A and B are shown apart, each in its own frame.
Chain A
């Protein structure tokens, strides 16, 4: 069964360093998302990406964050200068195309996550 994959599973970095989190969405999906989950808190939306551009971003997704789909399979999240408060689980998700009004097209499938620890 197709699945979303993410690498690395765990990333430790020093404050101020740049990190790139990588995701391979399900192959026939066209909508891509990044979410994060700080330990003990709810899953929070960061950004959505469609047709090679950001379609929506949250307040969390400031100028330190960027996303890219460098080729036909990878979807990356870059944090330019990490802060202590960026420590969290980061999840990539993908959804196949369809209308926004409901149905199976709304189903998002999540990867296993990357645990980012900023020291």
Chain B
């Protein structure tokens, strides 16, 4: 059974601080996606990483896929209150393309 473990599960920081969220597995994924989810809404796709070692940037967010494609990280530089939300990693699994989700990281950025 493929599992994704996210850490930390909850993070509360001050505006302007940097942070990193980790997504780890013992399984290899062909690709991994990061989503952001607001309360009562569906996950919104932020980025897809495919190649081992790949780094993608989305404004102040930097996503990295591990060399062995078993882990990924999300780094936010100079966090802002608008970054507050639930961040989910999800691994692409099998031929049908189902996603295996981590349990999520709830980020709170205080002004």
Q: How far is the CB of B97 from chain A (nearest CB, A)?
A: 6
The reply to whether B50 and A56 contact each other, CB–CB distance below 8 Å, is no
Nearest Cβ on chain B to A95's Cβ, whole angstroms: 6
Whether A48 pairs with B50 at a CB distance below 8 angstroms is: no
> Which segment of A12-20, A75-83, A108-116 sits at the interface?
A108-116
- Does B101 lie within 8 Å of A42, measured CB to CB? yes
Complex CA distance for A95 and B97, rounded to whole angstroms: 9
At the interface with chain A, which of B17-25, B38-46, B75-83? B38-46
Could you give 25 example pairs across A and B, Cβ below 8 Å? A31-B96, A33-B97, A33-B99, A42-B103, A43-B43, A43-B88, A48-B96, A48-B97, A50-B96, A56-B98, A91-B42, A91-B43, A95-B97, A100-B92, A100-B95, A100-B97, A102-B30, A102-B92, A103-B48, A106-B31, A106-B48, A106-B92, A107-B45, A112-B41, A113-B41
Size category of the binding interface on chain B: 20 to 34
Q: Which 10 pairs, one residue from A and one from B, show the smallest C-beta to C-beta distance?
A: A110-B42, A56-B96, A102-B50, A43-B101, A48-B96, A55-B96, A45-B98, A42-B103, A106-B92, A106-B31
Chain A: number of interface residues, binned into ranges: 20 to 34
Q: A107, B98: Cβ atoms under 8 Å?
A: no
Residues on the A chain within 8 Å of B90, using CB: 43
List B residues at the A interface (Cβ < 8 Å).
30-31, 33, 35, 40-45, 48, 50-51, 88, 90, 92, 94-104
CB distance from A36 to the nearest CB of B (A): 11
Give the complex CA separation of A113 and B35 in angstroms: 15
Q: Are B42 and A31 in contact (CB under 8 A)?
A: no
Q: Are B31 and A102 in contact (CB under 8 A)?
A: yes
